[in-house]
Structure 1
């Protein structure tokens, strides 16, 4: 059971006032709004996840979709919702529609996490402790990578091509694993953590160099997507130890 997340990596049209052109105070305000929305997204994800796990019907259905070609259907549906939500958030200036897109994406993330969280909580020896450890490591890595971008002020847009190729390769490996029934193993999870780390660098760099001053919701969505991808594979690595 593997997960991939290929973001659209759209650039902001040049006609908009980019964050890099704002005053220091306005840039800080944009960053605060963006990361506040990421934090709220994480809290909403936790609530959605808890609610979904309360339903035996949803849990059993999600577990049934993790085998073979069914997982491909579930993954394909998740990728469709991802692209739809990101496209909606970027193309519209209507904040209500942007929040709807963000909420839809968070719900999709919560649903696709149901089997992984359920197995980790119910069948791993360390249970909730394992989830807490994975969450702490994920947040530490996310914070560290974010700090690299803000401290160096480097433009990581050059990662776009490599990330796109990497995600297509990952999707191909996931397809092959699902169709032919082999486990991609620990090193695939490590590789996906590296890919997720690159996505965090890219998305954080976009805050400075690509987004416009009123696009803090799509900016938060992109960061949240990369954060959750990292959490998926950090948790997968922790689960492989048990």
Structure 2
């Protein structure tokens, strides 16, 4: 997700890179607090959704064949809408609604994977392990960018190509019924890691001090992508 403010006046908005040290620290605190809030809201949504057998059965039924592609397509539409809404408005209420809507979409698409992880292991141990690994990687990659202030915007083209290839493989695997396997999950973790570097770099070089909600949304999306494939690796390992 790349920052763009063509739709409204940006003259009074200060880029984080041009702000004072105090303003930068405040922006980082707000952004990561909102990422943490997104994670907490995701857990709440996931818990509530898993309480309904009807919702769980429906979500599981959507993992078969073209239905899975339909679900992924719907999720991508929600993602694009949430990101564009958060970026193109200064109305914090609309930004929060877009963020919450995106978190809910993530919670719904995670239902089959979370259900399988719990049912397969008969415990939350795998989820806890995958969560710890994901958060550790996320924190490490974010710290690299913030401490070095290196601009990782050059990753945009590589990430775009990588994600298009990944989508093509997912579509092919779904249509022709083959398992993408462990190495695909590893590759997607690499892509997710690159996305975290890119999104964190945007915090420093692209966003203004008032953009902590869209910044958090982008980071949350990359975090959840990483969690999805780290969890896949743990399940394949077992």
Same-fold status (TM-score > 0.5): yes
Q: Mapping of 1:54-203 within 5 angstroms?
A: 54-124=51-121, 127-203=123-199
Aligned to 1:4: none
TM-score, structure 1 as length reference: 0.94
Task: Tell me the C-alpha RMSD between the 2 structures.
Answer: 1.1
How far apart in 1 are the matches of 2:56 and 2:2?
A: 32
Q: Which segments of structure 1 move beyond 3 Å, counting only runs of 4 or more?
A: 10-16
Tell me, which stretches of 5 or more residues in structure 1 are unaligned?
1-7
SS of alignment partner, residue 40 of structure 2 = helix
Retained in 2: the 8 A contact 1:156–1:202? yes
Whether 1:237 and 2:233 are equivalent positions in the alignment is: yes
- Within-5 A mapping of 1:4-83: 8-11=1-4, 15=11, 16-83=13-80
Query: How many positions carry a matched residue from both structures?
Result: 234
CA distance in 2, matches of 1:124, 1:233: 17
CA deviation after TM superposition for structure 1 residue 206, in Å: 0.4
Alpha carbons 1:85, 1:104 under 8 Å: kept: yes
* Cα contact 2:27–2:209 (8 A) shared by 1: yes
Structure 2: stretches of 5+ with no match in the other structure: none
Deviation at 1:100, TM superposition (A): 0.1
- SS of alignment partner, residue 97 of structure 2: helix
Preserved CA contact (<8 Å) 2:62 2:71: yes
How far apart are residue 11 of structure 1 and its match? Answer: 4.2
SS of residue matched to 2:153: coil
8 Å Cα contact 2:3-2:207 kept in structure 1: no
* 1:236 Cα deviation from its structure 2 partner: 0.2
- Report if the CA contact (8 A) 1:12-1:212 is conserved: no
The normalised TM-score by structure 2 is: 0.96
Q: Deviation at 1:10?
A: 3.6
**1:82-127 Cα shifts (integer Å, max 9, x gaps):** 00000000001000000000000000000000000000001235x3
CA positional deviation for 1:213: 1.1
